[in-house]
Chain A
């Protein structure tokens, strides 16, 4: 069965510090990968998605970047965090092909920028 991991689970970082959040998927090959941010009491905002190694699409202009160095690894980064980067960050995967379009989410990382 497929499993998706995210770490760290919780992070408190000062403004201006760098960020690296990691997501890995097990039990599947060539998945589509996604990074979302969820602000308190709000829906999910898609930040980045990737259909393959080194292929990243950005949905919104922002202070963040994403990379996919391996097939099942997705990294969210920032060089200098802003207060507005605080939120709940979720990684998700879906099958690359086929009729099934569901996305499956990891446990999330709660980021607080102080």
Chain B
């Protein structure tokens, strides 16, 4: 079993839809959680990070962590074509800031 599982998609939605992206993990030692957005042929860009269970909101993006279920989500409201990208979840624990990444979910928002 992989430490982090993420559905690779692709996920195709119409503009304006609410998007839900999810990751599950098996290591209960993970303490911090992040979401990255990666456009084609570019480096990943940090979108959200959180260190506790619950919700964190930033504009159209909401990150949700449920440590009891070992499940994290990223919600995108009012999705735009510019949101079309691959979204990677990442999590870590301990020193040296080592992160474990999901495989990424490819999202396409069509006008």
B35-85 residues at the A interface, CB under 8 angstroms: 36, 41-46, 49, 51
In the complex, how many angstroms separate the beta carbon of B23 from the nearest chain A beta carbon? 11
Which residues of the other chain, A, contact B104 by a CB distance below 8 angstroms?
Answer: 42-43
**How many inter-chain residue pairs (CB < 8 Å) link A and B?**
53
Whether A102 and B96, one on each chain, are in contact in the complex, defined by CB atoms closer than 8 angstroms, is no
Q: Mark A88-110, 1 if CB is under 8 A from B, else 0.
A: 10100011000111111111101
Q: Does B25 contact A (CB under 8 A)?
A: no
Interface residues of A (CB under 8 A from B): 6, 32, 41-44, 46, 49, 51, 57, 88, 90, 94-95, 99-108, 110
Question: Is B1's CB within 8 Å of the partner chain A?
Answer: no
Specify which chain B residues have a CB less than 8 angstroms from the CB of A44 in the assembled complex.
44, 88, 101
Given contacts A43-B104, A44-B88, A99-B51, contact A105 B45 (CB under 8 A): yes
Known: A44-B101, A101-B49, A105-B44. A32 touches B96 (CB 8 A): yes
Cα distance, A42 to B6, chains bound together (Å): 11
